[in-house]
Amino acid sequence: MKMRLAKSLLIAAGMIPALAMASHWSYEGHSSPEHWGELSNEFKECQAGKNQSPVDISHPLEAHLAPLNVHYTQGPVSLLNNGHTLQASFDQKAQNTLTIDGVKAELQQFHFHAPSENTINGKHAAMEMHLVHKESNGDVVVVAVMFEVGAENPALATLWQKIPQNTDKSVALDAQIDMNALLPTDRTYWRFSGSLTTPPCSEGVIWLVMKHPLTLSDAQLKTFKALMHHDNNRPTQPLHGRVVVE
């Protein structure tokens, strides 16, 4: 009853846009990760899900995983600061693919989190990149690459040059980068089942976290952090009996 009254008052006050904003989420304050599940019915899985990401990777189980089967060429074509992350997108999705369990998945986009979302033995990397692939049935496979501060990263340098000045305005990238340069030479990885790390936190995502990090310079990390204004990592979530394999 109270709810209904509050709602009608808002409507009376012409505040419909405020209601529509109910599913706004962020990394700070009232719409921060611990509240995501309460912000919208569509975000329920963020709170109720038992296979949520990110996770802490410790005590992995030896499972003789198949070598990472990626066919990467070049890309991406555009860069967007959507306020939550810096995201690079492709137009021809079939250009970069990954095959896992005999199923092909196409690279849709990649984006960054600082500090890292997944942790290794409780420790964050300076930054984490998520390469988001989609199978034809809609299932998502994320390849995560950690970055530690060290030598400047040439591939990131090409992207960082074009960082959009405005939020929600995508910029075209003229120079292509070799997508293989965004994977470590040693492509051994950890695998587990998880979710999207942003609302709606949908589960059924295959996570492949590369064991070996790449580097970026302190200046490159600072540029990204200044762009985001705040940390953009969701805290690690309970495993609830899940196993990380290697």
Q: Which residues bind Zn ion (CB under 5 A)?
A: 130
- Least distance to Zn ion from the beta carbon of 111, Å? 5
Per the annotation, the verdict on 84 as an active-site residue is yes
Residue-wise DSSP of 73-139: -EE--EEEE-SS-EEEE-S-GGGSEEEETTEEEEEEEEEEESS-SSEETTB--SEEEEEEEEETTS-
Nearest to 217 by CA among 155, 163, 150: 150
Please identify, using beta-carbon distances, which residue of 10 and 202 lies nearer to Zn ion: 202
The answer to whether the beta carbons of residues 108 and 97 sit under 8 Å apart is no
CA-to-CA distance for 119 and 66, rounded, in angstroms?
A: 23
In terms of CB distance, is 10 or 228 closer to Zn ion? 228
Rounded to the nearest whole angstrom, what is the least distance from the CB of residue 130 to Zn ion in the complex? 4
Judged by beta carbon, residue 39 or residue 142, the one nearer Zn ion is 142
Task: Give whichever of 46 and 102 is closer to Zn ion, judged by the CB atom.
Answer: 46
Dihedral (CA of 211, 138, 127, 51) sign = negative
Beta carbon of residue 198, minimum distance to Zn ion (angstroms, whole number): 7
CB 118 within 8 A of CB 128: yes
* Longest CA span, the chain: 62
Return all residues near 104 (Cβ < 8 A) that are at least 6 apart: 97, 98, 135, 136
Choose between 10 and 26: whose C-beta lies nearer to Zn ion: 26
Tracing tokens 């995508």 back to the chain, one arrives at: 170
- Across the strands, what pairs with 140? 134
Shortest Cβ 86–Zn ion spacing (Å):
11
Pairing label, strands 97-100, 119-120: unpaired
- Taking the complex as a whole, the smallest distance from the CB of residue 13 to Zn ion amounts, in Å, to 37
* Catalytic residue (choose from 30, 64, 71, 84): 84
Paired with 197 in beta bridges are: none
Q: Mind telling me the catalytic residues? A: 84
